[in-house]
Amino acid sequence: MGDSSELRYLRSNVIIEPLVDRFYAWMFTFAPVQASMNLAFLQVPLLESYLQSPQVHVAASNNPDLRGGYFVNVPEERAGEVTELLETIKKDRADMLAFADAIAEGEELVRQNATGFDLTPLYPKLPPALNGLIEMAYDTSNQAAIRFIEPLTYKSPAFDERRQSVQLSLDDGVERPFILSTPRLPSPDVLELQIPFNHPGLEALFQARMKPTTAAKLVEALGLDEAQAAQLDKLLTTEPSLSADRHIEDGGRIRYFGHACLVLQTPDVSIVTDPFISTDNTKGDRYTLDDLPDYIDLVLITHGHQDHIVLETLLQLRGRVGAVVVPRSSRGNLEDPSMGLYLREIGLPVIEVDDFDEVPFKGGRVVATPFLGEHSDLDIRSKSTFWVELAGKNVFVGADSSGIDPVLYRYIRNNLGQVDMAFLGMECDGAPLTWLYGGLFTKPVTKKMSDSRKLSGSNAAQAADIMNELGATEAYVYAMGEESWQGHVMATTYHPDTYQLKQIEEFLGWCKERGFTAEHLFNQREWRW
């Protein structure tokens, strides 16, 4: 280990993987209700399936045609470690597994007995694990459902910080295993920290990207032993790597960091959308964490999918963010956990917004605008597009919102004005309903039904309708998991004849015919005015 008193920086290419019970953490494996159900009905059966046929899972994991499938990519010779992990989960997470079973029992109770009459007699029949945590209610069509009192679930046995840990390593450019299926086992070149995500030591560690500190201070902040301190030393360097042009002195600038991540700047303000940022600064073909401004006034999160609220990036922004702006959830729907509760729990400041709420900043404002589609027709309210007025331009951050009802965008224009630049997602043939939400269903969903309800954004015609209604003449379609550093989260594979790419080509042709500026973004791009 080097001199522990020497000033050091965190290396640019350090990766953090936040884990819960060794599975990669995202909102549906963290929020207590959804985490319990995914653990019981998805992750435990997945590990059991792997242990029955490890070689089948490994072969499927390496088959490009099955990319993004639920297969555990752990070598067969390490199956014993998976057995140990499964046994530990069943023993130490018994409360969570019981809670998931109670949810299934409670939903069946409602299905069988809520026939439009008084629900009061059903409360004594609820499984004890649900008492005090739910309310049963009808909608105006007399369809009954369970609503969770979500803040209390974070105080219940269904939430346990001891599940949380992090792995720190250096980005070597090799694609990591798919996050929804493969647990992260220990490795000699990985620093394992059994600490919760809100641990102050993590903030101190990532602040060292910008401000030098000593290894001794970091060892103390993270509570490391001698062996861990030696591993930490490999993650530190004596030279800073921040980009000299990460701030601007006049005008406005937007930088595309990949996927749905934009950095919008003036000399007075910095705004980041859906941060999902590469740590590999050796390629020279992308912006990385080195290119972020030192202070970020607002982070805008459009929706709760794992490629838009990316915990491994968000954790690295703690201590340098004014607020994370998130759409408000429905307050208790099983399929719609609160992003606000989730992010506050990991130590980030949060502003929750409803449609057409405004967040002002010096020289401009952000307005939350409605988001249609892309959520398999589930009753999910925590999704928002954003209108950003910045340095004299109106920018529409459309994320994966669909143009299924173009009149919505006419209302946006009539209320807020004409758009100068529109950023759109066109993953128009998304995954089926059960790919992402399967762990939340306690009643079987047929394949035909699941396939009919996809996680799809706009096709060419819908994107054109959005442009027409917004009055926009510049359109930028973000890459759909095509950038190399996103494979572990996106697991998408495209070829020139892929339907989504053909739809993007059709849309770009439509724009060209009308004299509009339009591009399919990839890796990086900058606009200045």
Chain segment 126-180, per-residue pLDDT in tens: 999 999 999 999 999 999 999 999 999 999 999 999 999 999 999 998 999 999 9
Q: Cα–Cα distance between 13 and 174 in angstroms, integer?
A: 12
Q: Residue 421's closest CA among 404, 396, 391, 448?
A: 396
Residue with the two structure tokens 């959005």: 466
Q: Where in the chain is the domain with CATH 3.60.15.10?
A: 253-522
Once rounded to an integer, what is the mean pLDDT over residues 220-229? 98
Q: Are 424 and 456 in contact (CB under 8 A)?
A: no
User: Each residue of 324-340: pLDDT tens digit?
Assistant: 999 999 999 999 999 99
Once rounded to an integer, what is the mean pLDDT over residues 192-207? 98
Class of domain 253-522: alpha beta
Q: Where do the DSSP E strands lie in 124-251?
A: 134-138, 144-148, 164-170, 191-193, 213-214, 236-237
Once rounded to an integer, what is the mean pLDDT over residues 94-99? 98
Pairing of the two strands 7-10 and 236-237: antiparallel
**pLDDT at residue 1 greater than cutoff 60:** no
Q: Cα–Cα distance between 50 and 64 in angstroms, integer?
A: 19
**pLDDT at residue 258 greater than cutoff 70:** yes
Q: Which two tokens stand for residue 401?
A: 């919102």
Task: Give me the sign of the Cα torsion angle 16, 20, 26, 32.
Answer: negative
**pLDDT at residue 288 greater than cutoff 60:** yes
pTM of the predicted model as reported, rounded to 2 decimal places: 0.97
Count of C-beta atoms within a 10 Å radius of residue 483: 21
CA 181 to each of CA 18, 196, 296, 365, 445: distance values in angstroms, whole numbers, following the listed order: 15, 22, 33, 40, 20
User: Each residue of 364-382: pLDDT tens digit?
Assistant: 999 999 999 999 999 999 9
Would you state the pLDDT for residue 322?
98
Percent of the chain clearing pLDDT 70 (strictly above): 100
Once rounded to an integer, what is the mean pLDDT over residues 411-419? 98
Pairing of the two strands 474-477 and 517-520: parallel
What string of DSSP letters covers 494-515? --TT-HHHHHHHHHHHHHHHTT
Task: Give me the sign of the Cα torsion angle 496, 501, 505, 506.
Answer: positive
Question: Going by C-beta distance under 8 Å and a sequence separation of 6 or more, which residues neighbour residue 507?
Answer: 426, 460, 463, 464, 475, 477, 518
Q: Cα–Cα distance between 335 and 433 in angstroms, integer?
A: 12
Q: Cα–Cα distance between 275 and 178 in angstroms, integer?
A: 19
